[in-house]
Structures are given as C-alpha cells and as structure tokens.
Structure 1
C-alpha cells in the first residue's frame, strides 16, 4: 500500500453536521436518540430559520457547525434519514490518514473532516472551504520531501459534493485538487427536494408537532438541491422548474438554484481535468422519485422517467447522480446497489474509496453480486405497520434476511423472505415504538452473493408533543 501524501477532506451531506447556537448544541445526536435531536432542534426552530433574501451570505445568527454526525440523523421532511460518518472516518484512518489538530505544537494531519452549516448556500460553504483547507494544506506541505507538492483529495457524501465542486471550480480549489470522490451526490438535483419545498416538511401525514416548512423554504441549500433536469410532467412533455410556476415557491429562489447548477456545469466543461479527477459513486436499483406531477394541492412524485423506471439510491435518481456530460451507462460511474443514507458506510463503497485514494490492488467487490431492490418509507406513525418490499434485481433468486435494529443496536425484528423475481415482495413488521431504526437486508450466509442494502426509518408519535 502506498503512503498517503494527499490531504483528504471529508464533507458530509445535508443534516450531516452538528450545529451549535452560542453555547448550546441545537442539532446533534443525544445519547444516540434521533428523537431527542429532533426535540432539541424543534425548540430552536425560530433561531434556525433564515431571513428572506439571504442569498449566499451568512445570517450572523451565532449558529456554527461543530462536527460530523456519527449517528443516524433525520428531520421529518428534510432530505432523507442518513447514517453517520464514523465508519467512513474509521476506514480512512485504517489506511494511514490522521486528523489535523488545532494545536500548533501537534504534528500535521492529513485527514480533515469539515462540518458546515447545511442551511446555507453551497456557494457560501464552498467559499468557506478555502479559509479552512488552504492553511491545513500549507502546514501538511511544510514537512517537505514527498509532501512538498501534496494536493487535496475530497471524499464527499450527498450535498457535500456540491459544496466541494463549487470550491474547486469557483473558489480557486482546482489548482490544488487531486481527486474528487463523491458518494450519492445529487449532481443534477433531486425530485425529493422539490416535493419537500412545495408540499412542506410534513411528509404528507398531517401536521407534525415540529413543522419545519418555513425553515425548509428559508434554506438556500434546498433550492440548490432542486432538479436541474426536466422533471415536471406537462402535456407537452417534461419541463424544468424554471419553465413553470411552482406553488408556494418564489421564482427568484428557484432560478437561483438552477443558476447554481448552470455555473458549475459551465466551469467544469471549460476544464477537462475536472472530468478525469472526478470519481462518482452512485446508488442503483432502489425505487427513486425521478419526476413529478403538479396537482391542485402540491406535488406528486413519480418513480418513472417517461415510460422507464430507471431507479437510483431511493433519494437521488440515476438521471441526476452524475454530471450532465456523463451518460448513465458510463464506465466512469461506480455503481453500488444500496440506499442513499447508507452509501457512505457500504463496504463496497469504502473499498472503492480505499482503492481510489491508494491505488492498492484490493478487491473492490466480489466478482459476482446479486443486487436487491428495496422500498421502505422514511417515516411512519406509532401503531402503523412498517412495510418492507424487496425484489431481486436480476435472475438469481435467494432467500433474504430482513433485520430491524434500534439505535441502541438491539435487534427488534428479524425475518426471512424469498423473492422469486423482479416483482417486489412485501412483508410488514408490527409494533415498533417511537424512535429511529435501521433496516438491513442481507443474504443468509457469509458466502451469499447478495449485496447488502440498508435504510433507516423514523417512527413518530403524533400525539406526544416534540
């Protein structure tokens, strides 16, 4: 294995950074409880909502990012449940990367996890990266020798890839960037963000105790997650978000989000190295909202693109998971059959990152794997059954174990299903108390060819005030 010489910067996705307001954490795991984190966030909702017309600025509201989320994190109606980044950081440490430290007397580090305020514009957060990365890179280079010309390699999950791309293309980062590794990054946006902005952050199940609609609509980052591709069904065909009027949304905010993507595309097209330096890891085979239909009451999402169901990672559709100049069948894409919130912890993904960073001759994944197609909700109410649907994405029927695990790592339910073909087989799990749960689908034996898929769900009590 080669000795790492790059400075590796890790950027989480939306919701993936803890936030502090003055002396109090307002978004962070609390004793491993997603519900406690939501309570804390809900009590501070007025502090966290952003002013109108903020654009690419900081609101000077004394809210600052602190660290990367280690545990499962979810806010009902904002993006999707995500597992933490502890496993990703552990893999990077295992191949020789060590965190930088603020202590001037400490040895320089080459692993730099950067939290950011995910409410704010990706442009602002991209500009902020320069103030953090450049001093750390300079200190790393001052060791001399093989490190004198060290560059930066980015490992980014979800929206973190958009932040890094803006820094690279518009904030001077291209000169010192060696590699950009993205995991489930919505290069062209996501229909899920469209639904959440238009319909409001209530997940379509009535008014939750914490209504985050006004907060979501105040976040510049959410508009930069809107689909850049044509996704709105119209009689004449699919239309872009800027070509029609979207209910509840200011046209200026929508146009600003589209402009963000256009400026990235223009800059990357002028710099050929941006393509050769980019390694996009994408999730596949999972039912994923791709287009939308306007109704009298808002937006209805559809998993199809025209007549085709192209799938994705259950959050980012495959049509949006890479740059516009990269075809969906391009060999430049690394494809892993898992869901968005678990990609950064998936073993095949970690092996890909390991290989990209070190060029080690490791086995990235088994010669043959059997992919699963899994459909689960993000949120259910207490008393409702949890439906888990699974199909084999191919012609290799095998039994599948479904395991439901609570945040304290206690197994709540385990059962075996036997899907026979590409048709979804659904089983229901009853009696889950309020909390966050991991749903893991695996083969029955260590030698099984099944590629594991993992998703997360929040069980919400609508009676109990949060």
Structure 2
C-alpha cells in the first residue's frame, strides 16, 4: 500500500498530513481473554460462528461477569479491528474493516493512522475515555515524527496536524463520548480536531436493540437469538444502544422506552437506567462534534418504533413526527401520524445524525456503510479536503434490500428488493443480484429477479452452511449488500 504517493513528476500527492483515528462499531473489534490468551471474538474460521451460536457454549466468555459489572475491567482486551466477516442474530453480518482502513491511505504516512479497537461489551463512556487518551497520545506522537515535519511543509500554511476521526456505528457514540470526557477534564481535544466522520451511528439509539434484548422471533433462528439475548442482557454497551426517543406505540400516544420496560422485555433494569442517564448527559452537556459529517443509510427496511405486547417486542417499520411546537404530530382525529422513514436496516435515518449536522444520504445497509466504494470515496474526500471545504454531497438513491439474517441451508426463501413506494415496475428494470462467499467474495450464484406475489425479488436456496454476501446493484450505483448466515437444519 502506498501512502501519499504520485507517479507523475512535479505533482504533489493528494494526501493529508493530519492524524486519523478509525473507530469500529459494535462487535467490530476482535477480543481476547487475557486469562487464557485465547480469542473470544473475531475468528478467521467461519465454522466457529455456527458452533458459537448453535452448539456448545461459545458465547459465554463474552458475558460480563460480576467483577466487570463493578468496574474491574481487564479480563477481556481488544486486539485489532475485525479482519474477517462475522455474524450475529438481529445485527446480521459484520463486514471487516480492511476497506475502511484502505480508505485512509490518503495520509502522508502510515504512522498517521491509529486503528482503535475497543471492548464493545463495556459502557460507551468507558471506551470514550480510553479513546480520548489514545487520540491525544497518537496526535502528539505523530506531530513529533520526522514524517510529520516533512508532510507539514507541503501544507499551504504549514499548520500542525490535527485529528480526523472516522467512526462506524457504535464507534460514533464512543467518539462523541471521547469529546464529552475531554471536555469534563478541561482537555483541548475539540480544538485539536478538524473533522469527525460518522457512518451509520445510532445517535438516538436503535429499536433493533430492544428486539435483541427481547430475544423472540422466528423458529429458524430461535437458539441463536436466545443466546444473543442472554449475552446482551449482561452488556452495558448494548444497553447504551437502546432508542432514546419516543418509539413505543401505545395507540393514542407514543412514549419512551423506560428501564421498567427494558426489564420486562428481557434486559437489565439497572443497565437500562445507567444507559438512560448516559444518553441524557450526551444530550445536555456534550459540545458539537467538530466538523461533523454524518453518513446515513437510507431506503432499507428498518424498524423505527415498537409495540409491547405482554412483554414481547413487535417491531414497526414506521416512525412518529413532531410538529413545530415539539409536540407529537396528530391527524384530525387525534391519532399520531405514522410515516415510514426507513434507514440502513439497523438504524433508522432520523436517529443517525444530530440536529447540528447536515447528513449525507446513501442507499446502503448498515454494515456496508464502512465498506461500500461510494462511502469510502467520501471518507477520502473529507481526509483530503482543504480546511475551508465541506466535501462533496452524495445522492440518496432508492434501492432497498430485504433479506433474513439467518436461513436454513437447502430451504428456499424470498429475497425482496424494495424501491420508493410510488415507483412503477419500470423502476426495477436493470437490477441485478449476485451471491458471494463472504470470506473470499467469490461469486457463486446469480439468481434471476422477478415478481413474486407482488414483491420483486428472487427465490433463493443456499445449499451449504456458511456465511454469504448478497449484492443487489442498479445502474451505475454502488451495490447494496447484506450478509446472511445459512445453517444446517440439524443444528436447530
């Protein structure tokens, strides 16, 4: 990999001399048990995924124990950013971060880049404090290097390097918590930062988290979902992702999800209370993120609200709006108005940016926001922009992908392609679908798309138990992708 290189004599490289910090999302860091030395998350052997979720007790080492609940951390340590595809119920697939790390090759030297793996099980505030300290150390080390001195001379005003954070999903919350920690310590982290790029960050939480803590749903994924629920009920990091907006549909009214609600649906009441207090601190006391650009996934079917039915979470693909007075918008009969705002399949669009931020819309699934070529190009553009620029705007697109997160090998299922509600059938012309091995990205099938009882899509049968990557592409747009785990029916 060449950093800041140029093959044309006399042409300066289009690179930044700033220091870059890459912060992954939940489950995006490989973890190791320090007591045994064994990895507990982030394996190359994809067979481990089936064993962990369907047999044995492979997820138990990730559960928070009593020492960790009391703040005594260190049993588990983060070793690196995820390098291989992974999968978890509800959260679907986790793409590796090699493409995002490649995106930051627009720096003067590899020393300018800091990948920041973290123990995503722990509270966001804990990881934010660690990130603030690590970013300060990284900037100081880079500024003191000979490579920085050389690169600095190429900058128009020869200013010192500043920080640029590139954060995916939960990583954006960790980054925001880093600025909160720094502000509470009287640190100058905000002044030392030029830009923050967040990719699919759930600033106001995700309804999907409530579904995870509830653990119910289809029989085909019963055991993996139960194990995910049992794990998540112990993790402060998961509770920090609970929706922080009025999302519980009570018919004539809509209210927030409270700690008692969380306990009733399967979460931990105390962790929910602590998460709610943390979210309130973020709302009331955290300064704006410097130079913030929020890349937001749109057009993908996304849970936006929920109903609680005798302790069971019923996800809803509609959201509620406020009027100009900040009150719940209602129709003439006093019924709250419902609107499908979609999102990236995990985070609905209005929860993925802050009021002070102008969002950049991309028609991508949550995991692909850190991998897709269009998002990668945008990150590069922010890294190499002049100080006074805001970077290029990107279009919204209108192709959505609706697939299950887990299927049985050998059994057919329907892949659905979505478009805008008012689209006619001509909109779907030219859409192509391919199926790939998730580990190698080798194409193994090209299903024919067509109409099935009013839905546009394809009947899919994945023959072998493994992790697959589904790609759907339309015209010149970047493909929409999603990971799907196929399991042996005998494992259920």
TM-score range, shorter chain: 0.7 to 0.9
Which position in structure 2 is the counterpart of 1:436? 467
Note the residue ranges of structure 1 that are not aligned, 5 or more in a row.
100-108
Which position in structure 2 is the counterpart of 1:374? 401
Partners of 1:210 and 1:244 lie apart in 2 by: 21
The range that moved more, 151-160 or 355-364, is 355-364
Deviations for 1:104-146, whole angstroms, at most 9, x for unmatched residues? Answer: xxxxx10111111111111111111133222221111114753
Does residue 282 (structure 1) correspond to residue 314 (structure 2)? The answer is: no
Partners of 1:391 and 1:384 lie apart in 2 by: 23
Partners of 2:92 and 2:219 lie apart in 1 by: 11
Partners of 2:226 and 2:214 lie apart in 1 by: 17
1:125 to 120, 124, 127: 127
Change (3 A) 1:16 1:84: same
Partners of 1:165 and 1:76 lie apart in 2 by: 27
Q: For the Cα contact (< 8 Å) 2:203–2:352, is it kept in 1?
A: yes
Partners of 1:235 and 1:40 lie apart in 2 by: 38
1:265 to 274, 283, 286: 283
1:25 to 39, 42, 67: 39
Q: For the Cα contact (< 8 Å) 1:397–1:419, is it kept in 2?
A: no
1:308 CA displacement: 0.9
Partners of 1:36 and 1:389 lie apart in 2 by: 25
Which position in structure 2 is the counterpart of 1:347? 373
Does residue 313 (structure 1) correspond to residue 315 (structure 2)? The answer is: no
2:232 to 201, 213, 216: 216
Which position in structure 1 is the counterpart of 2:155? none
Partners of 2:70 and 2:384 lie apart in 1 by: 36
- 3-state SS in 2 of match to 1:205: helix
Does residue 256 (structure 1) correspond to residue 269 (structure 2)? The answer is: no
2:163 to 152, 156, 181: 152
Which position in structure 1 is the counterpart of 2:482? 455
Which position in structure 2 is the counterpart of 1:135? 137
Does residue 68 (structure 1) correspond to residue 81 (structure 2)? The answer is: yes
1:266 CA displacement: 1.6
Q: For the Cα contact (< 8 Å) 2:382–2:391, is it kept in 1?
A: no
Which position in structure 2 is the counterpart of 1:103? none
Larger Rg over CA atoms: 2
Change (3 A) 1:424 1:359: farther
- 3-state SS in 2 of match to 1:440: strand
Which position in structure 2 is the counterpart of 1:5? 17
The residue correspondences of 1:411-426 to structure 2 (distance < 5 A) are 411-417=443-449, 424-426=455-457
Which position in structure 2 is the counterpart of 1:96? 107
1:357 to 383, 387, 400: 383
Give the structure-1-normalised TM-score.
0.85
Give the structure-2-normalised TM-score.
0.81
Q: For the Cα contact (< 8 Å) 1:348–1:364, is it kept in 2?
A: no
Does residue 388 (structure 1) correspond to residue 406 (structure 2)? The answer is: no
